[in-house]
Amino acid sequence: MREEAVNRVRVVFTLLDANGNGVLEPVDFELMATRVVAAAPRSGEAEKDALRAAFERYWAVLAAELDANGDGRIDFDEYRSVVLDPGRFDATIAEFARALTALGDPDGVGRVDRPTFVALMSAIGFERANIDALFDAFGPSADDRIEAAVWEEGIRDYYAPDKAGIPGDRLVGRATA
Ligand SMILES: [Ca+2]
Ligand SMILES: [Ca+2]
């Protein structure tokens, strides 16, 4: 497993622990879904419901696959095995990636502008400098928009254990220009 993959997973664990008590529980995913939906005022109810459903499923799958000691919570040692066998989570991550990027593209034109991207990624909890660095790594157009499909693929790559030097690494540590 690439060290970069472990670092990416650690960042996600910290963010998913929305109430900051050191373990993942259902309430974290409810909090996160509420925050992200609140950051997407231009999106329709169907898209918001899809995002909420994606977070619910995300938790359900993590709980079923990673809660090794069966206490209904997932600590980091349990969570880090998410990258050992990512195939188990492909469908869940793909659903999440699709739901999130759909919120980023409320007009359904396949493109995401920077303010919308920043709002959603800030709601998840990433730092502004990292968010901008990631957006730039996705190769924005002259009018400062990225392809929704590129972002969606970037989310899936983020969880890939064998990838390094990918745009998602911009979300780890301090952003560098
Ligand atoms: Ca928590
Ligand atoms: Ca547990």
Ligand nearest to the CA of 19: 1
Residue 58 CA to ligand 2 centre (angstroms): 15
Mean pLDDT of 70-82: 92
Domains along the sequence of the chain with CATH: 3-168 (1.10.238.10)
Residue 33 CA to ligand 2 centre (angstroms): 22
pTM above 0.95, yes or no: no
Given a cut of 60, whether residue 76 has pLDDT beyond it is: yes
Q: What SS3 string covers the chain?
A: CCHHHHHHHHHHHHHHCCCCCCCECHHHHHHHHHHHHHCCCCCCHHHHHHHHHHHHHHHHHHHHHHCCCCCCCECHHHHHHHHCCHHHHHHHHHHHHHHHHHHCCCCCCCEEEHHHHHHHHHHHCCCHHHHHHHHHHCCCCCCCEEEHHHHHHHHHHHCCCCCCCCHHHHHCCCCCC
Whole-number pLDDT of residue 176: 55
Return the number of other C-beta atoms located less than 10 Å from residue 133's C-beta.
19
Q: Give percent above pLDDT 90 in the chain.
A: 75
Whole-number pLDDT of residue 175: 62
Mean pLDDT of 31-55: 97
Residue 24 CA to ligand 2 centre (angstroms): 9
Residue 140 CA to ligand 1 centre (angstroms): 34
Ligand nearest to the CA of 28: 1
Residue 67 CA to ligand 1 centre (angstroms): 14
Residue 144 — φ and ψ, nearest 5°?
65, 50
Given a cut of 50, whether residue 177 has pLDDT beyond it is: no
pLDDT tens for each residue of 135-174: 999 999 999 999 999 999 999 888 777 788 899 889 887 7
Please list all protein residues whose beta carbon sits less than 5 angstroms from ligand 2, which is an ion: 67, 69, 71, 73
Given a cut of 90, whether residue 60 has pLDDT beyond it is: yes
Residue 161 CA to ligand 2 centre (angstroms): 22
Residue 72 CA to ligand 2 centre (angstroms): 6
Whole-number pLDDT of residue 151: 97
Most confident listed range (5-9, 71-75, 91-95, 164-168): 71-75
Ligand nearest to the CA of 31: 1
